[in-house]
């Protein structure tokens, strides 16, 4: 059916507003890139807007030479990769039986998990539990308490429920066990929701901040998020970074604003690089695995 004039106007206004919203979200990132690559005098005089003024990469030189950004980056990678693998494994093996109609008590277990979305033990009881298990100053304190996200679990369970029962019947006739059915049929058909939930977990672990501050005591185990936050808050730390970056001439070319911008970009860019590979599954995974009312 050919759209009416009113529908065309609505679509145009809608597209225009979404374009403005997208540009407004992109501007802070572009400005941060410009700050990290601009000359000292351009930053101090406030000439930097959305493009670098006087190309200068000394901020990145000072950042990598004067901070523990590389070890912190590796810590973030370890926390994210191991955490995502553990969370995805437990989420899959929990969502699969809850999606099976023959599983006795699945409604009870589902409601019990939904209960945790509305009520929690609180920060202090959680800390005491983690401490009682000897997990303080260990990455397991970051992985185990939040191993499964209830929302992610419900999305995956609903997606599994939408897989036709005829596939299960055919697999049973061919002598397929539950494990083989999950690995060879369910998971290959569930790539959209798997990619989506992987992205959710990945972003959460990569941006872990409060849990790291609470449970990790050694600075050598801090992740990139905590390091960048300390840089932004501590003026003295920024001065130490500049002092450790090299000779006097090199120090003159760096200001705190460019160092902060460079640190933020190092933290943000990995997720921006990963997202395009999962984007094609993102909308489909959320829509097909959404919770039915």
Would you write out the chain's pLDDT as a tens digit for each of its 293 residues? 677 888 888 889 999 999 999 888 888 888 888 888 888 778 777 788 888 887 888 788 878 877 788 899 999 999 999 999 999 999 999 999 988 888 888 889 888 888 888 887 788 888 999 999 999 999 999 999 889 988 899 989 988 888 888 888 888 888 888 888 888 888 888 888 898 899 889 999 999 999 999 999 888 899 999 888 887 777 666 666 666 555 444 444 667 788 888 888 888 888 888 877 777 666 655 555 444 44
Cβ neighbours of 190 (radius 10 Å): 24
CATH code of domain 58-293: 1.10.3720.10
Dist. CA 185–CA 35, nearest whole Å: 49
**What is residue 104's predicted lDDT score, i.e. its pLDDT?**
85
State the burial class of residue 270 (Cβ atoms within 10 Å of its Cβ: 0-12, 13-18, 19+). middle
Would you say 181 and 171 are in contact if contact means Cβ atoms under 8 Å apart? Answer: yes
Ranges assigned E (strand) in the chain: none
**What is residue 237's predicted lDDT score, i.e. its pLDDT?**
63
Dist. CA 287–CA 192, nearest whole Å: 10
> Model confidence over 82-99: pLDDT tens digits?
999 999 999 999 999 988
* Six-digit token string for 277: 């590979």
State the burial class of residue 48 (Cβ atoms within 10 Å of its Cβ: 0-12, 13-18, 19+). buried
Could you give the angle at the alpha carbon of 33 between the alpha carbons of 31 and 36, nearest 5°? 110
**What is residue 241's predicted lDDT score, i.e. its pLDDT?**
66
Could you give the angle at the alpha carbon of 285 between the alpha carbons of 280 and 286, nearest 5°? 115
DSSP at 253: T
Dist. CA 220–CA 229, nearest whole Å: 15
């Amino acid at each position: 059916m050919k759209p009416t004039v009113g529908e065309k106007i609505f679509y145009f206004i809608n597209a225009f507003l979404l374009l403005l919203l997208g540009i407004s979200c992109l501007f802070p990132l572009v400005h941060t890139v410009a700050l990290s690559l601009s000359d000292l005098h351009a930053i101090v005089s406030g000439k930097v807007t959305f493009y670098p003024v006087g190309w200068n990469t000394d901020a990145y030189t000072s950042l990598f030479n004067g901070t523990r950004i590389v070890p912190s980056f590796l810590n973030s990678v370890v926390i994210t990769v191991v955490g995502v693998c553990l969370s995805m494994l437990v989420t899959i093996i929990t969502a699969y039986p809850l999606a099976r109609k023959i599983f006795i008590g699945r409604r009870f277990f589902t409601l019990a998990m939904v209960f945790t979305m509305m009520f929690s033990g609180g920060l202090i009881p959680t800390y005491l539990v983690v401490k009682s298990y000897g997990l303080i100053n260990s990455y397991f304190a970051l992985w185990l308490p939040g191993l499964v996200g209830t929302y992610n679990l419900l999305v995956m369970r609903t997606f599994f429920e939408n897989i036709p029962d005829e596939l299960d019947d055919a697999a049973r006739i061919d002598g397929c066990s539950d494990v083989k059915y999950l690995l060879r049929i369910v998971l290959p058909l569930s790539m959209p929701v798997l990619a989506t939930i992987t992205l959710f977990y990945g972003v959460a672990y990569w941006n872990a901040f409060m849990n790291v501050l609470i449970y990790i005591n050694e600075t050598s185990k801090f992740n990139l998020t905590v390091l960048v936050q300390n840089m932004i808050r501590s003026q003295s730390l920024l001065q130490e970074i500049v002092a450790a970056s090299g000779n006097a001439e090199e120090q003159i070319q760096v200001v705190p604003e460019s160092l902060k911008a460079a640190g933020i970009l190092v933290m943000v860019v990995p997720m921006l690089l990963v997202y395009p590979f999962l984007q094609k599954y993102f909308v489909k995974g959320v829509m097909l695995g959404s919770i039915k009312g």
